Structure 1
Amino acid sequence: MNKAIVLLEDGTIFYGKAEGPAMTSVGEICFTTGMTGYQEVFTDPSYFNQIVVATNTHIGNYGIHRDESQSGSVKIAGFVCRNFNEQHSRVRESESLPDFFRREGILAVSEVDTRKLVRHIREKGAMNALISSEDKPLEELKAILAKAPSMKGMGLASEVSTQKMYTLGDENRAYRIAVLDLGVKRNILDSLLKYDAYVGVFPHNASLEEIAAWKPDGILISNGPGDPEPLHEQAELVKKLIDQEMPTFGICLGHQLISLSQGLETFKMFNGHRGINHPVKNLLTGRCEVTSQNHGFAVSRESAEKNGSVEITHIHLNDDTIAGLRLRNKPVFSVQYHPEASPGPNDSEYLFEQFFELIRENKAKKPGGKVEESAER
């Protein structure tokens, strides 16, 4: 058996079996509670620089399918699980998870007591960790881990954003949607395309002039990894877009940047929310949603309640943290979860329709503002 080590920042050690190349990897360790959707997790840019622990016992039993990746490559720093299935079964053409990790150059560690590991993380909070399948002395591994920077204060959007603007769909469609790519998931773009939209995806360092020149009808501020607070330029750009009365929809990191642009505060959570079964209550309708979530930072509820221009629209029912908000006098709203799912339930898909309804209302206010009906497909 190829031995591997999981070393936590506080000195706690777990041993397991190496799956993938001989290497050492460092990142913030976190856990996800999803029973399915491991491929989507591995390729979600919001997980960049994180070592992910699966609470589900069996990983890899249905293999990997190219259509389910949420970006062009694996984004996690490493993976830890209990049972790593060498064999998989699936009707559609797919490859095994071991082959996928070897091809992507990612280390996974299996045969770890993940129940004990997750309980430790829950009790001690998020922290850096190291996984290694290399034959290195423990003291050397500890020295490598000690040099790793904290996730707090780390702006990572530039690491996963597109470097050049690109478009999706037919330019003759009814709506032009600009996406500020801070680590956007593929299914967010696919969800926009369902609504008769022509989508322009802009890099993290795009200027107001570049976006305005494309003449969008609405802006989506995407999800992404890291701490939102260092993203001063992006928060300032979002503020300028909002000041121009541009219909704006923020998802996860986008939600946090909209909040920062309005003077709210964000904070690093003790553990964060990651999984596909998180309960959220819509305060406007009274309805509850089961949601897909992946974030380690959140918006301060106290700062939101003190801001008269902000209305809290959704709360997380496990800990009462803000899960959504809107601006009272602007066509702007955001949520701290993933309405596009992938993986996860579809309870929150209505938020995309809500976004396009804002766009239709905004277009109708303009001279000659007759608007085509949304063509959901």
Structure 2
Amino acid sequence: MNYCHVIDWLQVHVKCPIEIGAKDNFTYHTEKTDYQTRQFREVYEISVLMPNGTYERCAVLACKPHAAFLGNDMGLLKIENKFLYQSSLKEFVVNLLDQYSFRFHAISRMDVALDFTHFSGGMPPEDLIKNFLQEKYLKKNKAKFTITGNHLEKNSYDYLRFGSKTSEINYYLYNKSKELLDNKDKPWIRQMWLDAGFHKDAQVWRIEFSMKSSCKELLDFDFGETVACKALAIVDNETSFTLFKTLFFKYFSFVENNQGTRKDRMKDVVLLHLDKPNTVILRLTEKIESSRMDKVVIKRFEAHNQYLKTIDKNYFLYGAKSLMEFLIQRNLIEWYLQHFPGGSAELSVLGRKAGLIDDEYIQEKLFE
């Protein structure tokens, strides 16, 4: 049974020099665009010289934040999809950082995936979706899910997602061949499939995990070692595959429904023949899923703090610190920054000084 493990999205939080340019300006070409993003004033396209003598865009850098409290040297470097599909990805990223004198800070987003044509025993991936909908298979962990498909003479399914916008992990099962056909074709992905021994006409499916920065470390019990999930070491092919397998066995697990009440006594559904690593994902904090009432409380909290500011700044600082703790616990930092721009800068500075907020919150979803 053939598999292809890939990193399909890589965005890196970097510290940038004042001037953006490569040391080797022949191999690398840098062009400042004439547009901005909602968070950044400057956007650069970075191209690399290809073997055929042409330049091809390999990364996009967004830098110079509009908000001063983010720091003028903050940047987000997104690697173009084609360049993720190479055996020496980590070396490519390291060399790119060196060429532009970017100081690596953290990985702000990384999606890890596995491509295959069928599950164990020859089961088509679509049958897993059908069995899940019919409750023949039950998922071990609770999660919100979304399914898409088509109805002609009968229903067909091509996409299953678990997780929500507030989830620390979102993961998907979908027909990658159909996605390439319906959207933009990517010849480098098809070539990878051929190199792996997939038939050129095979329907290839993908299981993909998209992680937020609340996932801190990959802990290996066998060797007593940890690798930070936002460290560059996680990009190494073997390490990222271990990360995928850890996520797969923890989250993408199903059992056969025997009409009992305890899933731990039901038979596991064997989907892929992968070695199960003796590893776990560690998190720094436990966040509570937010509700509409939480946002009402925050609005009243903010109004109260602004009133305190007119009376005594010490009271205001104490109230702001309490609000920051509430925002972190409810995972509503980003929502607050969007809805209260008048108070966000001062509150964020306070939070950083108090050690309650760090770069993991301000780097997420800034690249648009």
TM range (shorter): under 0.3
> TM-score of the superposition, structure 1-length normalised?
0.22
> TM-score of the superposition, structure 2-length normalised?
0.23
The structure with more radius of gyration: 2
